Structure 1
């Protein structure tokens, strides 16, 4: 659920015992790269406080522990998960604009975004601390801005809060089988094996990126649909197929980490194929998947929805050529921010048209953009 964003993994020259999630004496962790060029990875007293709150590069190095905690959860990755819940609720055909249904949806969004995506991002930063010491030594953990004990406490609090909200939603919906809770557990486990040894899925660019992309697309969608209706096998299959686009999304995050990934022996796609080839794999996975969905809509006698989807794909392609394909390292944030919304909104019509009474939700997706 991961975001319910998940949204982008090791032979090392030194060994260390695996991390145990238990209480540790309070001390500051400092993992610093020697000889890091400050111009390549500037941190900053002069950085942006907004970037810090969103959890993206160019952040200021504030010392407020709550700002640092928020930075670790990367709020910029929450909106796609929140939007996934909206799409799942709409696709259920049973969402109504009542106070109770809106409240349920909001709780599901909090579970998917701040709690479980926040858990995933914090966990990933914890296990990436050696790589970040090479790529981004100014980040909170390798810079020593937050202690080991504080990071591990945050991981547990966010995980337990997310699972608690999932259980609450099942009880609220009257589920005999706690499907939302099990989706949350499955997503949390996937987040762990994505980031942590010995499996560490992110070590392989294909499996890691597909797992991450599928988590961002499928899990919040399934949760929203299960909360208000029935999660059917056809939706499960179609959303998994649509997650091929999520693989492309996840590759975007790998370009900024090429140096560290190569040094740590991680086979991300930019490392395995080179940045030039990987950037085309990235945009190809996103665009071909969505064009295929447009073809599916056209074949289903939904030409206007197919045209609408093409209209949403066009700005995405524009940003790809304007920013990402020119320099995926320099322009990753400029491309990533608008692309997330076009891409996720572009997926909505395929499912929303399953129930014509939900046309209002489809219109809302356009207003949201």
Structure 2
């Protein structure tokens, strides 16, 4: 893969754009303004890409241990180019958001600043950094909802936004388990390096179990049968993560399972919001 695409983690950026799309579809009941939706997805993609790039900039030394094949520690991209790219992407996304409205600009600006300070300092402060990542990830869904901004969208959008927050928070904790050795060597205060791998697994599993407990909730909020159908594989991958080995190696597998559950969850909410007359 092209090193620049790896730097911005293009797969994760696509995921953020899909999250924005899902938020819009859930809020709008699939009444689409192609122009506003496209702009919204571009904004989310640019800000997310810039955030991933600046994260690698500040993580270059740690990645020499954890992920030496990444574009910066491997020397495929210079640090200077990565910095320029990351700033350019986030600034471009924020400027483009002006065409959507003042609330959208505020969220794009706050998200960009949060991603920068997360990469610079908050990532090494443990829980606060995890919360920032979970919040900014969930905001991609919320951003799609406010872009539509019509009718009783808030109740429908806040549910998948909350799910995304919890799922990402659990994944962040498990990712900290996966990166335990490198983070410990450089004094990064993740939950795993602070309280240990075993206890971090316990907390992560509590969060994932909470997601399972509340997962039927959208069925009582007007989501259709497609949500119920896709809930089955969603629960399956959550369970695989819960029952992963209580170890650093298990953290790697658990994080991969949660990526699948996140993708399925986004699809479930998007298709679950389809008007019934389209399904019949």
Q: How big is the shift at 1:307?
A: 4.7
In structure 2, C-alpha distance between the alignment counterparts of 1:222 and 1:80, rounded to whole Å: 14
Cross-structure match for 2:21: 86
Q: How big is the shift at 1:232?
A: 7.0
Within 5 A, what are the aligned runs for 1:151-300? Answer: 151-168=82-99, 170=100, 175=101, 178-196=102-120, 200-217=121-138, 219-230=139-150, 241-242=162-163, 243-294=165-216, 296-297=217-218
Q: How big is the shift at 1:77?
A: 0.9
Q: Please report the RMSD computed on the Cα atoms of aligned residues, expressed in angstroms.
A: 3.2
Within 5 A, what are the aligned runs for 1:13-28? Answer: none
Q: How big is the shift at 1:193?
A: 1.5
Number of positions where the alignment pairs a residue of Structure 1 with one of Structure 2: 276
Q: Is the 8 A contact 2:141 2:161 kept in 1?
A: no
The CA deviation string for residues 32-88 of structure 1, in whole angstroms up to 9 with x for no partner, is: xxxxxxxxxxxxxxxxxxxxx3xxxxxxxxxxxxx2211100012123312321232
**Larger helix share, 1 or 2:** 2
Q: How big is the shift at 1:308?
A: 4.7
The CA deviation string for residues 286-308 of structure 1, in whole angstroms up to 9 with x for no partner, is: 341342242x4466698968855
TM-score normalized with structure 1 length: 0.64
**Gaps spanning 5+ residues in structure 2: where?**
none
Within 5 A, what are the aligned runs for 1:1-369? Answer: 53=1, 67-93=2-28, 95-97=30-32, 101-113=33-45, 115-168=46-99, 170=100, 175=101, 178-196=102-120, 200-217=121-138, 219-230=139-150, 241-242=162-163, 243-294=165-216, 296-297=217-218, 307-308=228-229, 310-320=231-241, 327-331=249-253, 334-346=256-268, 352=273, 358-359=275-276
What secondary structure does 2:189 align onto? coil
Greater Rg over alpha carbons, structure: 1
TM-score normalized with structure 2 length: 0.82
Q: How big is the shift at 1:110?
A: 2.4
